[in-house]
Structure 1
Amino acid sequence: MNANAFSTAGKPDWFDELNYDQKSDILEGITQADLGKIIPHDEVVKLFANYGLE
């Protein structure tokens, strides 16, 4: 995915304000989600609850 895909109508976007590492991490997360490498929210909540975190 191209970082420019997050820009709208040539106007600066919050994504444009991020540094390279931040953009890279976001794009990596999107790629992982596209590949189905995600953990549903309810499973994460249960995992945190096991450690007394909410």
Structure 2
Amino acid sequence: MNRKTLLAVTAVAHLLLTAWVRRDARKRDVDPSPWDALTLLTGIVGAVGYRRRR
């Protein structure tokens, strides 16, 4: 796998995780803004942090 492909797959994974966090936070009436930024920047770290906090 070349570098561009790896970056593209990583970006898509971060976007999908962010979408999941946002949808789940809205469903639970939680402000998704801080979790959006954290998950978008850190990926799985932000998603796990959100999961533990909710």
Shorter-chain TM-score bucket reads 0.3 to 0.5
The structure with the greater share of residues assigned to helix is 2
Q: Tell me the TM-score normalised to structure 2 length.
A: 0.35
